[in-house]
Amino acid sequence: MKRKGIKRRYTSAKKSKATSSIVKFFRFIIVSILIVLFLGIVYHYRNGLAYYFSFKSDKVLEKESEDKRLSDVRNYQVLANHKGKAIGLDVSEFQGTIRWSKVDSLEQKFPISFVFVRATAGNNRVDSQFLNNWLGVKEQKIIRGAYHYYRPNENSIEQANLFIKTVKLHKGDLPPVLDIERLPKNQSLDSLKKGLKRWLNKVEAHYKVRPIIYTGERYYDDFLKEEFGEYLFWIANYNFYREKIEDDWLFWQFTEKATIPGIKHTVDVNIYNGDLQQLQFITVD
Residue 210 Cα distances to 163, 204, 218, 249, 250, angstroms:
15, 5, 23, 16, 13
- The catalytic position among 90, 179, 217, 268 is 90
Give residue 112's identity as a one-letter amino acid code: I
Angle, helices 156-166 vs 189-207, to 10°: value is 30
Catalytic site residue 104?
no
Catalytic site residue 64?
no
* pLDDT at res. 40: 67
Tens of pLDDT, residue by residue over 169-216, are 999 999 999 999 999 888 899 999 999 999 999 999 999 999 999 999
Structural contact between residues 136 and 100, judged by C-beta atoms closer than 8 angstroms:
yes
Tens of pLDDT, residue by residue over 8-26, are 555 555 555 556 677 777 7
Query: Within the chain, which residues score under 50 in pLDDT?
Result: 1-2, 45, 47-67
Residue 215 Cα distances to 81, 180, 240, angstroms:
23, 5, 18
* pLDDT at res. 80: 93
* pLDDT at res. 157: 98
* pLDDT at res. 107: 81
- The catalytic position among 64, 158, 181, 221 is 181
Alpha carbon distance 98, 225 (integer Å)? 35
What is the value of pTM for the model shown? 0.76
